[in-house]
Chain A
Amino acid sequence: MEDLRRRDFLKQTALVGGGVILGQQLLTDGSGTLKQALALVPEITAEKIAVRLRVNGANYGLRLDPRVSLLNLLREQLDLTGTKKGCDHGQCGACTVLVDGRRINSCLALAVTYDGAEITTIEGLAKGDQLHPLQSAFIEHEGFQCGYCTSGQICSAVAMLQEVEQGTVSHVTADVRRQGPVELTDDEIRERMSGNVCRCGAYPGIVSAIREVSAAGRSSSI
């Protein structure tokens, strides 16, 4: 039997429609090796594309199927599983990462379109054993229950506090014409964090964690 990790196996069979059923058939078929069986799976691949990325300070030179999302790349190929897959459709924010310092949904990003980018994930926020102030504040204020959305919430909040420092306005800012500092009220925090959904409803803790870090001298730099 081939020494094949379950995740790699699923990855290969998932390229075919109904991959799971096919996988079961292969696993119960004792007539040949798994390698022989997999050779029967029609290969549906696209030409690989060269991509250079810097992730949490480490450089990667990769050749990628252009269909791979930045989220799947991080989780499946770089083993950075701190970034979570929630809806996979840009509706929940669990996959939020920082690309060149800005927050985006990694699930809707084709990795090949981010060649040369610098990416920071939840794994890249702490300095050694010293947590990022927002990580500490989320623990202190119980900004989570199950924790699944937390990586996305924290990455999003890191970028959000920087956006506020830059004087950006939001949907709830009373007058977009007025330049200058924006007061980060709870309404502003909620609106600016609306791209991160928490099914447990830990929002009060999330808002108070962000409020505290913001008030504690804008210590949001990463």
Chain B
Amino acid sequence: MKPFAFTRASNSQTAIQAVIKDQAAKFIAGGTNLVDLMKEDVEQPNHLVDINRLALTRIEEHNGGLRLGALARNSDTANHRLVRERFPLVSQAILSGASAQLRNAATNGGNLMQRTRCYYFYDVAMPCNKRQPGSGCGALEGFNRMHAILGASTQCIAVHPSDMCVALMALDAVIQVEGPEGSRSIPFAEFHRLPGDTPQLDTNLKHGELITAIDLPAAASAFSAHSYYLKIRDRASYAFALVSIAAALEVQNGTIKQARLALGGVAHKPWRAPEAEAVLNGAPLNQETFRRAATAALKKAQGYKYNSFKVELGRRGIVRALTIAAGEGRTA
């Protein structure tokens, strides 16, 4: 690991001022992803600014919804009474990711900032446009079993690894950010980026901007009775998703009043499926509707040499997730 300077910040403004001074400075909270990447020299910050002492750990009611502090730990968020009651999709998604040890250290803000698990990104001996712009993409013609089937570019076919973010995408969360020029709100759909010609940029955060909270809007609690996060992976626990589905329905008299559908493991960012939602909205609650939605969601999907199976896996996963959500969103 390369040497770096280390500062403990006592409030968000001192943290931001410390980071803004150096393009190679970074905030550190739980560090579960950043430290791992530093061990591999994928990340080489000059300066780490420790934000663990900032007062951003609260989870509280806000405008009828919930405000999740950026420094609340993933485990505390998943198990918070109000999150479980009103936004069970968020609890389910968090609990399907990583291990209990990692969720205890990882923070909500850090979850949004985690980087891809593409093997070529992690291996500094391989080309990777995300790690080293212009060096090429090892995955495009390489072993690309875990890679994107939607929204990829010729520069990068990596996927975003988060589970929590897929639920946040489905529920129209809003990210609160503090920066050198003040505060701003970022709709979740505009937070992460598709790779395009700049795969080195995962998000639209500017250097020195600090995530302070994630807002779950009141309207999204309408889905609490019928939502489900389905994660399909190579082993039953402690593995990244091949495909994951966040399905949320509001049901009235056997009809879908409104629906939300987002996919994980398929794109450079958590993938919202508005084409599928258009099929579901106002449609009768049955398998035929779910199948049509699944087809619509993956209409533009394109597999590579080793991951074409994800297209059909995604379709079937969508039908299954919607079926469970249409029940009571429980598995037993």
Contacts and interface: CB of A to CB of B under 8 A. Distances in A.
B79 A93 contact: no
Interface in B164-189: none
Interface stretch (A33-41, A52-60, A98-106, A142-150): A98-106
B149 to A, nearest CB: 25
A151 interface: no
A195 B74 CA distance: 15
B237 A171 contact: yes
Interface stretch (A76-84, A129-137, A174-182, A211-219): A174-182
Contact of A176 (B92, B100, B237, B332): B92
- What's the dominant secondary structure at chain A's contact region? loop
Contact of B100 (A46, A65, A110, A192): A192
B296 interface: no
Given A93-B99, A169-B91, A177-B88, A108 B3 contact: no
Interface stretch (B101-109, B202-210, B287-295): B101-109
Given A169-B95, A194-B238, A102 B104 contact: yes
A112 to B, nearest CB: 6
B316 interface: no
Nearest to B73: A102
A176 B8 CA distance: 36
A67 B1 contact: yes
A221 B102 CA distance: 22
22 contacts: A49-B6, A66-B6, A89-B36, A93-B99, A93-B101, A102-B104, A104-B105, A105-B105, A112-B50, A113-B28, A113-B31, A156-B101, A159-B100, A163-B100, A169-B84, A170-B95, A171-B92, A177-B85, A179-B81, A179-B84, A195-B99, A195-B101
Nearest to A47: B5
A115 interface: yes
Contacts of B99: 93, 105, 194-196
B3 A45 contact: yes
A201 B46 CA distance: 42
Interface string A152-176: 0000100110010010111111111
Q: Which 3 pairs from chain A and chain B are nearest by CB?
A: A195-B99, A194-B237, A66-B6
A181 to B, nearest CB: 14
A69 interface: yes
Interface in B89-131: 91-92, 95-96, 98-102, 104-105
Contact of B84 (A115, A176, A192): A176
Contacts of B4: 46, 66-67
Interface in B61-87: 75, 78-79, 81, 84-85
Contacts of B236: 190-191, 194
Contacts of B328: 175
A96 B50 CA distance: 22
A1 interface: no
A44 interface: yes
Nearest to B99: A195
Interface residues of A, number: 46
B48 interface: yes
Question: How big is the B interface, by class?
Answer: 35 or more
B198 interface: no
A88 interface: yes
A104 B237 contact: no
A46 B237 contact: no
B39 interface: yes
Contacts of B253: none
Contact of B88 (A103, A112, A172, A176): A176
A90 interface: yes
B78 A105 contact: no
A67 B1 CA distance: 7
A195 B81 contact: no
Contacts of A104: 101-102, 104-105
A202 interface: no
Given A46-B6, A113-B28, A169-B79, A195 B100 contact: yes
Contacts of B331: 172, 174
B101 A96 contact: yes
A109 interface: yes
Given A90-B36, A171-B96, A190-B237, A115 B102 contact: no
B200 interface: no
Contact of A109 (B31, B48, B78, B238): B31
B35 A44 contact: no
A109 B105 contact: yes
